[in-house]
C-alpha cells in the first residue's frame, strides 16, 4: 500500500508480522439490520443532499423573478404544473424531515434524548411530525388562494 | 476481496508517528462543527418564515412577487435565509463528500466544484433578492 491513510490500518501481531487491522463492515448493504438509529441518520443525509438539489429550484425561482415578468410566469407555471407540484411535494417532505430531525440532532448535541427508549420515541416523533407538517402545508396550500 | 486478505506490506518509508501526524481531528474541526450548529439553529425560524412566504406567494404574478421582496423585513429575512441556508448546505455537502470520496485528488476536485457551485447559487439568489428589492 502507498496511501498514508491506508497504512494506518496496518499493525503488527504478537509475532511481529504485519497484519491488516480488523474493521467493522459498512452499515448499508446487509451486514446490519436497518434500525431507528441508522435509518433516521442516513435519511438525514439523503434529505440534506436532496434539499441541496432543491436549492437549484429556489435559486431559479428568485433569478426568474429578478429577470422579469416573462421568466417569472414561466417558472411559476412550471412549479404549478403536476410535475412541479410532485417535485415540491418531495421537497417539502425532505425539508420537514430534515427540519424535525435537525431539532433532534441539536437536542443530542445538548446531551438530551440519548437513552435508547428516548431515541426510539423521538425518532418516531420526527417521522410523524414530518408527515403531519407536510400534509398540513399542502392542505393550507390548496385552501388559500 | 483478494486485496484485503493478502498479507499487507508497507512501501512508505516513514515512522509510525510520521504517518499519523497531520491525520488527527484536532485543528479547525470544532469551528466547522460549531458553525454547522449555529446555521442550523438560525435556519429553524428562517425556514418556518420561508415556508409561510411560499404559501403567501403561491400563484403570485411578477408584480406581487416584486412588491413582497421590496418590503424591508422580507428583504432582510430572505437575505438572512440565503446566508444561513447556503453556508449550512456548503458545510453539509463538505461533510458528505469527505466521508465518501476516498482518493485525495477526486475529493479535492469534488469539494472545489460543489462548494464553488453553491457559492455561485448563493450569489445569484442574493443578487436576485436585492434586484427585486431595489427596482
Question: Got the DSSP string for A89-124?
Answer: HHHHHHHHHHHHHHHHHHHHHTT-S-SHHHHHHHHH
Q: For chain B, say whether A38 makes contact (Cβ under 8 Å).
A: no
Poorest-pLDDT segment among A58-67, A133-142, B101-110: B101-110
Can you give the pLDDT at residue A28?
A: 65
Long-range CB contacts (< 8 A, 24+ apart) of A88-92?
Answer: A89/A134, A89/A138, A90/A50, A91/A50, A91/A51, A91/A54, A91/A57, A92/A134, A92/A137, A92/A138, A92/B51
Residue A38 is assigned to a structural domain of this protein? no
Q: What is the pLDDT of residue A14?
A: 86
Of A7, A8, A69, the CB nearest to B62: A69
pLDDT at residue A30, rounded to an integer: 67
pLDDT at position A38 over 60? yes
Q: Nearest residue of A to residue B66 by CA position? A: A65
Average pLDDT of the residues in A36-46: 92
Domains located in chain B, CATH noted: 31-134 (1.20.1300.10)
Selected residue with higher pLDDT from B110 and B17: B110
Specify the number of domains making up chain A. Answer: 1
Cell of B64: 406581487
**Residue that the C-alpha cell 417569472 belongs to:** A72
Residue A111 has pLDDT above 70, yes or no: yes
Reported as a single tens digit per residue, the pLDDT across B97-114 is 998 898 889 999 999 999
Among B82, B72, B80, which residue's Cα sits nearest to residue B120? B82
CA nearest to B36, candidates A144, A25, A48, A119: A48
Chain A residues inside the 8 Å CB shell of B47: 95, 99
Q: Name the least confident of A34-43, A87-96, A135-144, B121-130.
A: A34-43
In a domain, A138, yes or no: yes
Which domain range does residue A65 map to?
43-143
Instruction: CATH number of the domain at A129, please.
Output: 1.20.1300.10
Tell me whether residue A29 is in a domain: no
> What are B41-91's pLDDT values in tens digits?
999 999 999 999 999 999 899 999 999 999 999 999 999 999 999 999 999
Chain A residue numbers with beta carbons less than 8 Å from the beta carbon of B118 are 52, 55
Contact between A40 and A123 (Cβ < 8 Å): yes
Span of A11-25, A100-114, B23-37, B61-75 with lowest mean pLDDT: B23-37
User: What is the value of pTM for the model shown?
Assistant: 0.84
- Point out the least confidently predicted range of A33-42, A91-100, B54-63: A33-42
- Asked whether the predicted pLDDT for residue A6 surpasses 70, the reply is no
pLDDT at residue A140 tops 80: yes
Per-residue cell: B117: 457551485
Q: Is residue A89 part of a domain?
A: yes
Label each residue of chain B as H, E or C.
Answer: CHHHHCCCCCCCCCCHHHHHCCCCCCCCHHHHHHHHHHHHHHHHHHHHHHHHHHHHCCCCCHHHHHHHHHCHHHHHHHHHHHHHHHHHHHHHHHHHHHHHCCCHHHHHHHHHHHHHHHHHHHHHHHHHHHHHHHC
Structure ipTM: 0.84
Q: Among A86, A83, A97, A85, which residue's Cα sits nearest to residue A134?
A: A97
Q: Which residue of A has its CA nearest to B59?
A: A76
Whether residue B132 and residue A55 make contact (CB cut-off 8 A), yes or no, is: no
Residue A117 belongs to a domain: yes
- Averaged pLDDT of chain A: 90
Is the pLDDT confidence value at A59 over 90? yes
Tell whether A30 is covered by a domain.
no
Q: What is the DSSP letter of A23?
A: -
User: In degrees rounded to 5, what are phi and psi of residue A90?
Assistant: -60, -40
pLDDT at res. B103: 86
Mean pLDDT of A133-142: 96
Nearest-CB residue to A76 (from B51, B59, B89): B59
Say which of B19, B66, B129 has its CB closest to residue A7.
B19
Q: Which residues does chain A have within 8 Å of residue B7's beta carbon, measured at their own beta carbons?
A: 17-19
pLDDT band at B1 (very low <50, low <70, confident <90, very high): very low
Between CA B97 and CA B85 the distance in angstroms is 18
Residues A97, B97: Cα–Cα separation, whole Å: 21
Q: Is residue A132 in a domain?
A: yes
Amino acid at each position: 500500500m502507498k496511501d498514508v491513510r491506508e497504512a494506518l490500518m496496518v499493525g503488527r501481531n504478537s509475532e511481529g508480522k504485519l497484519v491488516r487491522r480488523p474493521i467493522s463492515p459498512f452499515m448499508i448493504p446487509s451486514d446490519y439490520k436497518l434500525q431507528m438509529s441508522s435509518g433516521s441518520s442516513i435519511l438525514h443525509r439523503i434529505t440534506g443532499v436532496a434539499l441541496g438539489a432543491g436549492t437549484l429550484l429556489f435559486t431559479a425561482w428568485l433569478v426568474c423573478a429578478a429577470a422579469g415578468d416573462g421568466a417569472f410566469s414561466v417558472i411559476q407555471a412550471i412549479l404549478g404544473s403536476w410535475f412541479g407540484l410532485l417535485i415540491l411535494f418531495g421537497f417539502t417532505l425532505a425539508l420537514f424531515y430534515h427540519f424535525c430531525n435537525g431539532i433532534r440532532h441539536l437536542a443530542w448535541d445538548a446531551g438530551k434524548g440519548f437513552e435508547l427508549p428516548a431515541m426510539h420515541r423521538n425518532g418516531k416523533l420526527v417521522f410523524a411530525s414530518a408527515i403531519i407538517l407536510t400534509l398540513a402545508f399542502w392542505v393550507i396550500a390548496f385552501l388559500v388562494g | 476481496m483478494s486485496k484485503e486478505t493478502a498479507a499487507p506490506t508497507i512501501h512508505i518509508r516513514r515512522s509510525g508517528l510520521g504517518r499519523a501526524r497531520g491525520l488527527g481531528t484536532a485543528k479547525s474541526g470544532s469551528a466547522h462543527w460549531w458553525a454547522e450548529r449555529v446555521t442550523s439553529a438560525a435556519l429553524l425560524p428562517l425556514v418556518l418564515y420561508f415556508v409561510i412566504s411560499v404559501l403567501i406567494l403561491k400563484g403570485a404574478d411578477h408584480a406581487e412577487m416584486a412588491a413582497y421582496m421590496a418590503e424591508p423585513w422580507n428583504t432582510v429575512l430572505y437575505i438572512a435565509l440565503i446566508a444561513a441556508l447556503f453556508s449550512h448546505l456548503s458545510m453539509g455537502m463538505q461533510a458528505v463528500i469527505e466521508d465518501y470520496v476516498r482518493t485525495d485528488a477526486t475529493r479535492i476536485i469534488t469539494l472545489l466544484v460543489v462548494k464553488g457551485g453553491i457559492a455561485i447559487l448563493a450569489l445569484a439568489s442574493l443578487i436576485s433578492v436585492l434586484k427585486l428589492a431595489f427596482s
